[in-house]
């Protein structure tokens, strides 16, 4: 059986996609691809609970009236925004592994992972769909981290990196680089703010 290929825009801290890359099946629609992905991971849509409340808060900070659909999956060790899903239904789909959700708990780090995936959603111009080639560069992840940090703050993002870095299954060589980029960005922001304040007096 040929496995479908999905575009995974992921947090990039964790293990790769659960579904291996294969040939592109152009016969499937975006909606079919999204549904296959969600079903293959036995993901359940979340509509209430403390995590969902945090999710809605983050959605509000991103000024999205129509909240994306949120799923938790028992069979996936990562977090993902499904590419082009926001364009297909105006809402978008974000999936978080239960293992990751449990690791983060109801914390600023959970806000951060939601913010990171929301940033992917906001930045999605529809160049690639659910069935496209997997594209995930550190540059894309750094830009996404930056938008998330500017939206919800640098500290939750740092907490997310530190929490996930402590786990063997989530080890990824990118984390220290992304953390460094985030810290550099924050210090530059502070300098810009300082210069702005000085220029006012």
Measured from the CB atom, the residue of 11 and 33 that comes closer to Zn ion is: 11
Could you give the string, one character per residue 139-178, with x where binding to Zn ion holds by CB under 5 A and - elsewhere? --x--x----------------------------------
Q: Mutual orientation of helices 174-200 and 154-165 as an angle, nearest 10°?
A: 160
Min. distance of Cβ 22 from Zn ion in angstroms? 22
Q: 37: Cβ–Cβ under 8 A, 6 or more apart, which residues?
A: 4, 6, 19, 82, 95, 130
Min. distance of Cβ 27 from Zn ion in angstroms? 28
Min. distance of Cβ 159 from Zn ion in angstroms? 17
Could you give the string, one character per residue 123-142, with x where binding to Zn ion holds by CB under 5 A and - elsewhere? ------------------x-
The count of chain residues that interact with Zn ion, using the rule CB under 5 A, is 3
Could you give the string, one character per residue 10-49, with x where binding to Zn ion holds by CB under 5 A and - elsewhere? -x--------------------------------------
Min. distance of Cβ 166 from Zn ion in angstroms? 19
Measured from the CB atom, the residue of 11 and 96 that comes closer to Zn ion is: 11
Question: Beta strand pairing status for 44-46 and 8-10?
Answer: unpaired
Min. distance of Cβ 145 from Zn ion in angstroms? 8
Closest-by-Cβ residue to Zn ion is: 11
Residues near Zn ion (CB under 5 A) are 11, 141, 144
């Amino acid at each position: 059986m040929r496995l479908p290929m999905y575009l995974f825009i992921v947090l990039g801290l964790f293990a790769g996609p659960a579904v291996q890359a294969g040939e592109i099946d152009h016969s499937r629609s975006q909606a079919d691809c999204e549904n296959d992905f969600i079903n293959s991971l036995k993901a359940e849509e979340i509509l209430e609970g403390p995590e969902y409340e945090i999710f809605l808060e983050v959605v509000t900070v991103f000024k999205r009236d129509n909240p994306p659909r949120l799923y938790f999956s028992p069979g996936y060790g990562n977090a993902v925004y499904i590419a082009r899903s926001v364009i297909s239904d105006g809402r978008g789909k974000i999936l978080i592994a239960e293992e990751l959700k449990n690791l983060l708990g109801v914390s600023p780090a959970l806000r951060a992972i939601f913010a990171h995936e929301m940033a992917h959603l906001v930045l999605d111009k529809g160049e690639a769909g659910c069935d496209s080639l997997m594209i995930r560069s550190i540059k894309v992840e750094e830009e996404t981290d930056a938008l998330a940090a500017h939206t919800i703050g640098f500290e939750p993002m740092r907490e997310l990196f530190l929490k996930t870095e402590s786990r063997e299954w989530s080890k990824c060589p990118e984390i220290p680089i992304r953390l460094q980029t985030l810290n550099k960005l924050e210090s530059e922001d502070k300098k810009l703010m300082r210069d702005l304040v000085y220029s006012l007096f």
